[in-house]
């Protein structure tokens, strides 16, 4: 037996040993003092870290806190054992064991040490290896003492016996296994059944030198990379990383090198440099890959995900996330956030937008709106609504050209993707996991967003989107690693599968137009009243119509419907309801409609159209619904019945009953309802209406001066009384004097005119220069012509329309605004008369010329009635001079008698009857527009 040695002496020895690489011990580290000693008789203890061959061991202290742990290489004296079997026998015998050893000789030039080893099961490792036939004695052994001669002779006797008995390398059947290259056959064999692996050296935390046992006679011996991860290098310049690198290397040595466990390996691919990537499997079931990641000794390599598979990679992701959360290893510089119990489980209704954070799962969220295939609004259990982005997905964008360069096809693809997401998610309850958070980026025009994964009925939404070819998977870099989906590896796997198939969406191999189901040319049936009438007949005959969804809700009683397959949209007015858009209840009703019906499939029926192209009808929540949506709104007190319109609806009685129940329960707008007060208010309103009607039937008379007539027959006029004329003259004088000054460079000036620096909006009031006079007048912007760069403006004090450039516009000062000084021009139409059309001849121009002759520069008297057709008055116009000669003369009658006025047959009264008689005479005489017969449009 070898005597023991004190631990302080042992530590000294190991601190001064050579740290050279295991497989090449001769070159030494120039920064480490090489321990050189004469032949030793002392005995030391050490743990066998590695077996380099049948005659050489790598020893380390039984316990050490040094990083890296010091090593000592010991070669057995007198013998040579370089076969695989010898090495494997020795490895199985002593690997990981604490043994005693002594150094018998040391080369003075290299410091290489030779000696012997003892353990409880053998007194001399040299004797045992010779006895078993695994090593051979060297030739020409020189001895320096009798004891040494005796020992060597004993070894020779043992060798002869082993040779005689055919043991070890002396066996007749002994053959060294052949080293073969790692080719496709080996890769395929490992995938069918993992191959046995012996780790011969650990280069770093992610690289080993391994021996793969293809079969008994064929081995692969070469460097291998642990798949799916990357560990820091031991030669990194950062000291903190170097320490982690050594810890990672030591961890792999402790678990893969210093073990007798039957390791196996699956070759999954190769690195960019051609080094095989392997998944090492331990019989215990523990994954060295996951353990390295979990301790922060390595980070995941994304591009290898498809080689490894999503199920395995998901375990790697969780391990890496644990290291990040706890600030281990390479993540030690990151302040680890404590994981609370609410983070590990699913959150409940108490979660609000303010306390959302990555790592949180929120159950019970509702997808309220689909903005894009990968961008949605969700309503939290708290009732708040936020916009979230699906993690790691990028849906097709209108400007993309990777799939097609045809902009129309690309737009259709974008709409298809959005429609798929809408159908998949809208209105569904989901479980939301927050993968990360993206801060706002003004340079890239990106808003801040939570990056999430959604599951509906326990199915991952992102997987469905990618598998149908409606989004690609983002390859993250270090800057966006925190935005990665926890399911990223599975998404990559699905994407690769779809790319190979090439049959769906953005992955389609071929002409993309062949799979497009949505057109880019959308027909708006509600574009105007005329177009609505062409669709109305077909809609009304169909009864209840399906295939549409609620695309937009401008108010509680109006929705926009869209049919993606037919590329048709329309506006549906919910029949029988009042328009409460501006009220508080209108906002509540709008919110209710958005929550329940926005982007949901619906059915509808129509029974009328309005004046602007809307269809009036009923909206139904689904095909099974027997009552329209209006009844829900009325029952909840979120809308009121329109007293007149409700009579046209087939559900009118139900609507009134629903409203009555809301009133009785004091819901919504009826929360302060008082039946008695309503009856009194109704009586008062009836009385006021009666008085107002009496006033409306009385015409008002004014002396006027006509200043303009437009193409629609609208007259602009000035009051001809002295007081108005004086005010207008004073206004023009002040206005002209103000604009005669040079414009100010300051936009805040109130004493000088200010040039407009940017184009005015439609409907904005400005000061505009009139081309003929060169003076400025008050005007309202009507439109902008992009081709000419000119603005159409209507001079509010004269009624005429002009076209001007931006340089001819000024800011209208507050002191001259129409609220401070009302417009001096007023408007009217000739009562019960329409002007003729422009076909088959331009009768309209002739009519306007005649009206100018009859009205301009003449003293006129207007007999006006309040109008509801966009002007102030419906008027009968008298010529003061001609009325003195003929009391029955009116300009209304005159234009009709000349054949350039068409009488409205729906109008009533004695004046209309007389006009119709005059019109009939003009028709018989084929005057004016009647020259080719009756030109009235046929009534529907």
Q: Residue 746's pLDDT is what?
A: 79
The per-residue pLDDT of the chain, averaged, comes to: 88
Cβ atoms of 673 and 666 within 8 Å: the answer is: yes
The burial class, CB within 10 Å (0-12 / 13-18 / 19+), for 785 is exposed
Over residues 444-486, the pLDDT tens digits come to: 778 899 999 999 999 999 999 999 999 999 999 888 888 899 8
Tell me how far apart the alpha carbons of residues 542 and 570 are, in angstroms, rounded to a whole number: 15
Residue 262 has which token pair?
A: 């039957």
Of 258, 264, 281, 265, the residue nearest 92 (C-alpha): 258
Q: Is the pLDDT of residue 574 over 90?
A: yes
Long-range contacts (CB closer than 8 Å, 24 or more residues apart) made by 171-180: 171/133, 174/83, 174/85, 175/217, 176/83, 176/84, 176/85, 177/84, 177/216, 177/217, 177/218, 177/219, 178/217, 178/218, 178/219, 179/219, 179/220, 179/221, 180/214, 180/218, 180/219, 180/220
Average pLDDT rounded to a whole number, residues 683-712: 77
712 token code pair: 């629609």
Enumerate residues 6+ apart whose C-beta is below 8 A from 724.
718, 824
- pLDDT tens digits, residue range 55-83? 999 999 988 878 788 999 999 999 999 99
Each residue's pLDDT tens digit, 256-270: 999 999 999 999 999
What SS3 state is found at 892?
helix
Tens of pLDDT, residue by residue over 536-557, are 999 999 999 999 999 999 999 9
Helix (H) or strand (E) holding 295: none
Q: Does position 35 have pLDDT exceeding 90, yes or no?
A: no
Percent of the chain with pLDDT over 70: 91
Average pLDDT over residues 36-47: 67
For residues 791-802, give the mean pLDDT: 94
pLDDT given for residue 84 in this prediction = 95
When comparing pLDDT for 74 and 441, which is higher? 74
Report the half-sphere exposure of 502 (CA within 13 A, side-chain side).
6
| Mean pLDDT of the 410-424 span | 95
Q: According to the model, what pLDDT value does residue 690 have?
A: 64
Query: Which residues are within 8 A (CB) of 467 and not within 5 positions of it... i.e. 6 or more apart?
Result: 494, 497, 498, 504
At residue 691, the pLDDT reads: 61
* Region of poorest pLDDT, from 230-239, 635-644, 807-816: 230-239
The answer on pLDDT for 713 being more than 60 is yes
Give the model's confidence band at 14: pLDDT under 50 very low, under 70 low, under 90 confident, else very high.
Answer: very low
pLDDT given for residue 339 in this prediction? 40
Evaluate whether 803 touches 792 at the Cβ level (below 8 Å).
yes
- Which residues in 55-188 belong to E strands, given as ranges? 56-60, 72-76, 79-80, 98-106, 113-118, 136-137, 178-179
pLDDT band at 1 (very low <50, low <70, confident <90, very high): very low
Q: How far is CA 34 from CA 17, 30, 101, 625, 810, in A?
A: 6, 9, 19, 91, 91
């Amino acid at each position: 037996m070898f005597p023991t040695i004190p631990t302080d002496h042992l530590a000294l020895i190991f601190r001064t040993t050579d740290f050279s690489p295991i497989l090449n011990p001769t070159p030494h580290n120039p920064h480490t003092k090489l321990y050189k000693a004469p032949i030793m008789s002392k005995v030391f203890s050490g743990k066998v870290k590695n077996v380099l061959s049948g005659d050489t061991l790598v020893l380390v202290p039984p316990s050490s806190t040094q990083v890296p742990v010091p090593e000592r290489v010991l070669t057995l004296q007198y013998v040579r054992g370089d076969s695989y079997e010898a090495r494997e026998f020795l490895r199985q015998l002593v690997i990981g064991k604490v043994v005693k050893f002594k150094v018998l000789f040391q080369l003075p030039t290299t410091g290489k040490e030779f000696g012997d080893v003892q353990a409880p099961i053998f007194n001399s490792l040299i004797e045992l290896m010779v006895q078993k036939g695994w090593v051979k004695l060297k030739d020409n052994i020189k001895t320096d003492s009798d004891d040494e001669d005796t020992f060597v002779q004993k070894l020779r006797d043992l060798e002869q016996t082993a040779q005689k008995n055919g043991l070890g390398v002396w066996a007749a059947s002994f053959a060294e296994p052949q080293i073969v290259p790692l080719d496709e056959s080996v890769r395929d064999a490992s995938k069918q059944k993992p191959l046995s692996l012996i780790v011969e050296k650990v280069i770093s935390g992610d690289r080993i030198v391994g021996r793969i046992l293809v079969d008994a006679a064929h081995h692969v011996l070469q460097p291998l990379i642990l798949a799916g991860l990357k560990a820091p290098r031991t030669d990194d310049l950062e000291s903190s990383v170097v320490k982690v690198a050594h810890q990672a290397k030591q961890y792999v040595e402790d678990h893969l090198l210093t073990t007798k466990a039957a390791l196996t390996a699956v070759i999954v691919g190769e690195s960019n440099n051609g080094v095989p990537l392997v998944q090492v499997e331990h019989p215990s079931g523990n994954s060295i890959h996951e353990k390295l990641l979990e301790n922060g000794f390595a980070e995941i390599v994304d591009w290898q995900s498809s080689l490894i598979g999503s199920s395995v990679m998901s375990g790697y992701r969780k391990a890496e996330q644990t290291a990040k959360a706890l600030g281990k290893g390479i993540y030690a510089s990151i302040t680890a956030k404590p994981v609370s119990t609410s983070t590990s489980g699913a959150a409940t209704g108490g979660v609000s937008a303010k306390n959302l954070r990555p790592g949180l799962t929120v159950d019970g969220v509702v997808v309220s709106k689909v903005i894009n295939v990968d961008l949605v609004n969700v309503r939290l259990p708290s009732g708040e609504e936020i916009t979230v982005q699906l993690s790691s997905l990028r849906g097709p964008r209108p400007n993309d050209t990777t799939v097609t360069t045809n902009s129309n096809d690309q737009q259709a693809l974008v709409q298809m993707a959005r429609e798929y997401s809408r159908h998949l998610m809208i209105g569904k309850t989901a479980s939301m996991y927050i993968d990360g958070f993206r801060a706002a980026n003004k340079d890239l025009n990106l808003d801040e967003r939570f990056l999430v994964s959604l599951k509906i009925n326990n199915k991952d939404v992102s997987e469905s989107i990618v598998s149908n070819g409606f989004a690609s998977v983002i390859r993250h870099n270090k800057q966006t690693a925190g935005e990665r989906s926890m399911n990223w590896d599975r998404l990559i796997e699905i994407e690769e599968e779809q790319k190979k198939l090439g049959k769906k969406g953005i992955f389609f191999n071929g002409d993309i137009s062949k799979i497009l189901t949505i057109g880019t040319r959308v027909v708006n049936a509600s574009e105007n009243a005329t177009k609505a009438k062409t669709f109305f007949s077909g809609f009304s005959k169909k009864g209840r119509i399906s295939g549409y969804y609620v695309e937009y809700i401008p108010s509680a009683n109006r929705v926009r419907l869209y049919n993606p397959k037919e590329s048709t949209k329309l506006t549906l007015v919910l029949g029988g309801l009042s328009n409460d858009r501006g009220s508080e209840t209108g906002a509540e009703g709008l919110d209710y409609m958005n929550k329940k019906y926005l982007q949901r499939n619906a059915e509808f029926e129509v029974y009328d159209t309005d004046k602007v192209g809307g269809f009036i009808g009923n909206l139904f929540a689904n095909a099974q619904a027997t009552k329209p949506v209006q009844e829900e709104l009325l029952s909840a007190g979120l809308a009121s019945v329109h007293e007149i319109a409700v009579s046209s609806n087939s559900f009118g009685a139900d609507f009134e009953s629903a409203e009555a129940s809301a009133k009785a329960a004091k819901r919504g707008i009826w929360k302060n309802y008082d039946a008695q007060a309503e009856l009194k208010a109704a009586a008062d309103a009836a009385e006021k209406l009666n008085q107002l009607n009496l006033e409306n039937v009385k015409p008002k008379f004014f002396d006027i001066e006509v200043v303009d007539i437009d193409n629609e027959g609208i007259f602009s006029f000035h009051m001809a009384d002295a007081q108005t004329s004086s005010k207008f003259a004073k206004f023009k004088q002040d206005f002209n004097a103000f604009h005669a000054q040079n414009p100010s460079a300051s936009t805040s000036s109130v004493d000088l005119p200010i040039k407009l620096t940017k184009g005015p909006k439609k409907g904005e009031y400005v000061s505009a220069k009139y081309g003929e006079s060169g003076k400025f007048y008050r005007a309202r912007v009507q439109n902008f012509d992009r081709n000419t760069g000119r603005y159409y403006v209507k001079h509010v004090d004269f009624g005429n329309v002009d076209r001007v450039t931006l340089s001819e516009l000024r800011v209208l000062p507050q002191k001259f605004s129409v609220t401070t000084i009302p417009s001096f021009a007023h408007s009217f139409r000739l009562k019960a008369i329409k002007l003729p059309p422009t076909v088959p001849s331009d009768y309209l121009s002739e009519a306007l010329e005649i009206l100018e002759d009859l009205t301009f520069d003449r003293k006129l008297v207007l007999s006006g009635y309040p109008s509801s057709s966009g002007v102030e008055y419906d008027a009968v116009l008298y010529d003061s001079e001609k009325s003195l000669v003929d009391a029955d003369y009116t300009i209304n009658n005159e234009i009709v008698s000349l054949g350039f006025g068409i009488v409205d047959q729906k109008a009533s009264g004695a004046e209309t009857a007389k006009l119709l008689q005059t019109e009939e005479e003009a028709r018989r005489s084929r005057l004016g527009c009647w020259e080719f017969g009756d030109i009235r449009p046929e009534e529907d």
